[in-house]
Amino acid sequence: MSEEPKNAGENIVFIGSKPLVNYIKSIMMQLNKRNAAEVVIKSRGKFISKAVDAAEVSKRVLEKKGIKIKSISTSSDSFEKEGRRTNISTMEIILAAQQSQ
């Protein structure tokens, strides 16, 4: 199984085996330079903790810009590996600028 591309879709960052700082830079570039309204951080399995770290660091760095965690969703993907059914946890974190009321 190959690692999914970091930015396969609009404003989506897939977390994998690269260093944490690469993902933080990608998230910040989407929110700062490309003025994205939100960024979707997707991860699976052992990379879920890295996704949480990337979201938290990005949120802290961009706090003055009003970036908050909009939503977090979890699920489980099921697939067959070596003749056995296997489940892998997935997580999606959406960072977005806080809406002014």
Q: Assess contact for 20 and 53: CB atoms under 8 A.
A: yes
Can you give the pLDDT at residue 9?
Answer: 55
pTM check: above 0.85: no
The torsion angles phi and psi of 100, rounded to 5 degrees, stand at: -80, 135
Return the exposure string of 90-100: e unless at least 16 CB atoms fall within 10 Å of the residue's CB, then b.
bbebbbbbeee
- What's the pLDDT score for residue 8? 42
pLDDT band at 7 (very low <50, low <70, confident <90, very high): very low
- Domains of the chain: which residue ranges? 12-97
Q: Which CATH architecture has domain 12-97?
A: 2-Layer Sandwich (3.30)
